[in-house]
Amino acid sequence: MFEHKRRAGALTALAVGVALLATGCAVDSGSEGGSDGGSGDSANLAITFLPKNLGNPYFDTSSTGAKEAIDEFGGTFAEVGPAEATPDAQVSYINTLTQQGVGAIAVSANDPEAICDALNEARDANVKVVTFDSDTNADCRDVFINQADAEGIAKVQVDLVADQIGGAGEIAILSASANATNQNAWIEMMEEYLASDYPDITLVETVYGDDDDQTSFDKTAALLQTHPELKGIISPTTVGISAAARYLSTSDYKGKVALTGLGTPNQMREYVEDGTVTAFALWNPADLGYLAAYASKALIEGDITGAEGDSFEAGKLGDYEVGADGVVLLGDPFEFNADNIGDFDF
């Protein structure tokens, strides 16, 4: 019964999606002349943010940063987006923005492929396209604002744990699943960085919690029991770090074994406040939105074109350079601790 309903729902959604696509294209092809009007002046600083979905605290934070930046340079900020983060949900919004002739669209792509055609039509109409947080294919946008690179993510976590355990002792890693591509790449870099910069720290074991609360719990317990000398745990996955923190917070090891890794402030607030966790890392979505806004401005004003080596200025964040494939790197991940966690809600 439910299955039927769901299938019917999916069919309806598909039909609506197709209809939207069809009408979107039809209207578009007829209005090529009109869309030039908006960008006739030297700088049309109307920048619209199109997150994956609305009502998502992560993107609420990035939009706050974007609005701050746009207010600084006197542009017009707007935000539109679908309620659901489905692959083709953003297409109709992009088409509408193209017709409105905005200066730039900053989009976090739900799908690298599905919105490509719509974005390229927008670019043909002289709308600049910036992707942030989640990229499309490189030929569908002008620049991509990358929140963090693997090296920076690996380095910040090792630095944090080294700082918390005093630069020497045994540590372990609680990862996601054994075949998680991102985590494995980070762990490999962490091992290299540990070997080169922290010879006194020994990585005794890497265990896999499968991004499952129960498994992560049990693996944390086993780590603590098997390695009585353990001084720190790194968990480069949001599920793992919160499960490990929950376990630690009610165990004898609270405050004795350091825990750090990648987590979100809402998830970790409880454990930072009760002293289980001193500091953890993740990028700051507000900075991400801020930088995306300044990149949009630079594109609109013609300071950059998205070519490698272009550079632009981004307010309080300083100067940035466009790297290979039009990627701009936000910088090192942001460190959350007891002093600043109250400022974030995502």
Partner 1 sequence: MTAPAIERSAATKRLRSVGAAREFGILLALVLVVLAATIANPNFLFSADGWRDLLLTPAILVLVAIGQAIVIITRNVDLSVGSILGLSAYLTGRLFVDLQGIPIIVVFVIAVGFGALLGLVNGALVAFAKVPAMVITLGTLYAYRGINVLWTGSDRINASDLPKSFLALGTGQILYIPILTIIALVVLIAAAWFMKNTRGGREFYAIGSDPAAAELYGLRVTRRLLIAFALSGALSGLAGVLYAARYGTISSQAGAGWELDAVGAAVIGGVAITGGVGSVWGAAIGAVLLLTINRALPILGIPDFWQRAVVGALIIGAIVLDRVLAVRAKRRLIEAREEDR
Q: How far apart are CA 313 and CA 162, in angstroms?
A: 33
Query: Which among 14-22, 36-44, 62-70, 251-259 is the span making contact with partner 1, rule CB under 8 A?
Result: 251-259
> Quick one: tokens of 112?
């690298």
Q: How far apart are CA 341 and CA 4, in angstroms?
A: 45
Asked whether 298 and 271 are in contact (CB, 8 A), the reply is no
Site membership for partner 1, residue 319 (CB under 8 A):
no
- Tokens 């540990």 belong to 194
The sheet with strand 258-261 has its strands ordered as 201-208, 169-175, 230-235, 258-261
Site membership for partner 1, residue 337 (CB under 8 A):
no
H-assigned helices in the chain:
2-30, 32-35, 57-73, 91-100, 116-124, 150-165, 181-197, 213-226, 238-249, 265-273, 285-300
- Of the candidate residues 159, 218, 301, 303, the single one contacting partner 1 (CB under 8 A): 218
The amino acid occupying position 163 is D
- Of the candidate residues 111, 151, 170, 213, the single one contacting partner 1 (CB under 8 A): 213
DSSP 333: P
Helix/strand number for the chain, H first, E second:
11, 14
Q: How far is the CB of 69 from partner 1 (least distance, A)?
A: 25
Site membership for partner 1, residue 41 (CB under 8 A):
no
* Minimum CB distance to partner 1 smaller for 1 or for 324: 1
- CA nearest to 276, candidates 256, 304, 303: 256
Site membership for partner 1, residue 12 (CB under 8 A):
no
- Of the candidate residues 76, 100, 137, 225, the single one contacting partner 1 (CB under 8 A): 225
- Tokens 């910040």 belong to 156
* Minimum CB distance to partner 1 smaller for 9 or for 30: 9
Beta bridge partners of 334: 282
Scan residues 74-133 and list those touching partner 1 (CB under 8 A). Answer: 84-85
Site membership for partner 1, residue 312 (CB under 8 A):
no
Judging by DSSP bridges, how do beta strands 311-313 and 319-321 pair with one another? antiparallel
Site membership for partner 1, residue 242 (CB under 8 A):
yes
* Minimum CB distance to partner 1 smaller for 3 or for 339: 3
The per-residue DSSP string of 232-244 comes to EEEE-SHHHHHHH
Q: How far apart are CA 295 and CA 47, in angstroms?
A: 11
Q: How far is the CB of 345 from partner 1 (least distance, A)?
A: 11
Q: How far is the CB of 237 from partner 1 (least distance, A)?
A: 12
Binding mask 253-292 for partner 1 (x = CB under 8 A): x------------xx-xxx-x-------------------
Q: How far is the CB of 15 from partner 1 (least distance, A)?
A: 19
> Residue 72 half-sphere exposure, CB side, CA atoms within 13 Å?
16
- Of the candidate residues 12, 76, 137, 250, the single one contacting partner 1 (CB under 8 A): 250
Site membership for partner 1, residue 339 (CB under 8 A):
no
Scan residues 182-211 and list those touching partner 1 (CB under 8 A). Answer: 206-208
* Minimum CB distance to partner 1 smaller for 76 or for 225: 225
Site membership for partner 1, residue 221 (CB under 8 A):
yes
Site membership for partner 1, residue 134 (CB under 8 A):
no
Residues near partner 1, by CB under 8 A? 1-3, 6, 53, 56, 84-85, 178, 206-208, 212-215, 217-219, 221-226, 228, 239, 242-243, 246, 250-253, 266-267, 269-271, 273
